[in-house]
Amino acid sequence: MSFPITRMRRLRKTETLRRMVRETVLSVDDFIFPLFVQHGEGVKKEIPSMPGNYRFSVDELVKECREVVKLGIPAVILFGIPAHKDELGSEGIADDGIIQIAVRALKKKVPNLTVITDVCFCEYTGHGHCGHVIGNDVDNDSTLEWLGKMAVSHARAGADIVAPSDMMDGRVAAIRSALDKNGFSHLPILAYAAKFASAFYGPFRDAADSAPAFGDRRSYQMDPANGDEAIREVELDILEGADMVMVKPALPYLDIIRRVKEKFRVPTAAYNVSGEFAMIKAAGQKGWIDEERVMLEALTSIKRAGADLILTYFAKDAARLL
Ligand code: PBG
């Protein structure tokens, strides 16, 4: 049927009609809020390129997470800034490392919040790469054992989900087997499966002090031009035991989110990364765009593309509006 019988505008006439035929509805249940934690006490230091986001000491992190729970957000993902960085990233696997301390505190004081930990070495190594560097590159196989150790130490501290973001080959299998051997066979893995070597991570690297000291991450993170390869990455992670998969970044990769969701039908997360957040914030602060509307439109587009979960620095702002 075509015009004049069909008139698409009939169902756009009023807000109630629009609500009734709306296909995609954002919910606070979709959100995972990323948080940065460091040593110290009473620290709440705003990240200049990420307004409204902070580096917290553990006591302040607990307060922030109480607010997160009050807003109805089900989960946070934690990134740690260690006291000392070294060649191997030792604090990353230490029982008294910053993440391990933070997870124990949160599980005790904010028990009904799901705590996800990022499993990766770039925040803990002096060179800022995601694993062990041999020569001029990250050595895949020797990094795997350490990733397993990190995941187990997070699990021991009480993490609810571990999320490997290093992009080593075989890491999901290595982490799954380390968890199982240590009595954590029930702990889910959220794999950063299709993680691209993106310029949109800039503000995060300032926040976490994790920019690589030499070179870049292109020998382990994916080439932004590749879609089929993203499907292979996701497939491998699922075969190795990933319970949920992630596409990262989100907005420049909506096509990948759609393909992953359609092909695999597993819980799919998308990471609306620091640069995506910073661009909207900055343009909003300048008065060039309506920040609230652009934020909701961007988050809705990520969900419409197929994401079940959205990691976003907008989680609190959006939760207040929903
Ligand atoms: C690596 C990691 C990064 C992000 C999340 N986990 C940075 C990187 O790969 O350089 C970036 C997230 C963001 O930009 O918001 N551990």
Task: Please confirm, yes or no, whether 195 is among the known catalytic residues.
Answer: yes
Report pLDDT for 220.
Answer: 95
- Whether residue 277 has pLDDT greater than 90: yes
High-pLDDT (> 70) share of the chain, %:
100
Domains (range + CATH), the chain = 25-321 (3.20.20.70)
Distance (Å) from CA 23 to ligand 1 centroid: 31
273/276 Cα distance (integer angstroms): 5
CB 30 within 8 A of CB 301: no
The atom of ligand 1 lying closest to the CA of 122 is 16
Tokens of 173: 């299998």
191/118 Cα distance (integer angstroms): 10
β-pair partners for 134: 137
- Residues 279-300: what's their mean pLDDT? 98
- Residues 266-276: what's their mean pLDDT? 98
pLDDT digits (tens, 9 = 90+) for 181-208: 999 999 999 999 999 999 999 999 989 8
**Within 13 Å and on the Cβ side, how many CA atoms surround 197?**
14
Burial 226-246 (b: 16+ CB within 10 A, else e): eeeebbebbebbbebbbbbbb
- Residues 164-172: what's their mean pLDDT? 97
Report pLDDT for 56.
Answer: 98
Backbone angles phi, psi at 105, to 5 degrees: -65, -45
Burial 134-165 (b: 16+ CB within 10 A, else e): eeeebebeebbebbbbbbbbbbebbbbbbbbb
- Residues 143-149: what's their mean pLDDT? 97
Put simply, whether the predicted model's pTM sits higher than 0.85 gets the answer yes
Report pLDDT for 176.
Answer: 98
Distance (Å) from CA 315 to ligand 1 centroid: 17
Backbone angles phi, psi at 22, to 5 degrees: -65, 130
pLDDT digits (tens, 9 = 90+) for 99-108: 999 999 999 9
Report pLDDT for 73.
Answer: 98
Task: Answer yes or no: is the C-beta of 118 below 6 A from any ligand 1 atom.
Answer: yes
Longest alpha-carbon distance in the chain: 70
pLDDT digits (tens, 9 = 90+) for 202-255: 999 989 888 999 999 999 999 999 999 999 999 999 999 999 999 999 999 999
- Please state, in angstroms and as integers, the Cα–Cα distance from residue 309 to each residue in 173, 217, 266, following that order: 23, 25, 11
Report pLDDT for 209.
Answer: 86
Query: Which of 149, 248, 261, 316 is flagged as catalytic?
Result: 248
Report the mean per-residue pLDDT for the chain. Answer: 97
Report pLDDT for 123.
Answer: 95
Residue nearest to atom 8 of ligand 1 (CA): 201
- Please state, in angstroms and as integers, the Cα–Cα distance from residue 80 to each residue in 19, 186, 302, following that order: 41, 24, 27
CB 126 within 8 A of CB 91: no
Report pLDDT for 201.
Answer: 97
pLDDT digits (tens, 9 = 90+) for 27-51: 999 999 999 999 999 999 999 999 9
Task: Please confirm, yes or no, whether 149 is among the known catalytic residues.
Answer: no
The atom of ligand 1 lying closest to the CA of 311 is 15
Tokens of 245: 């998969």
Report pLDDT for 80.
Answer: 97
**Cα angle 174-180-182, degrees, rounded to a multiple of 5:** 105
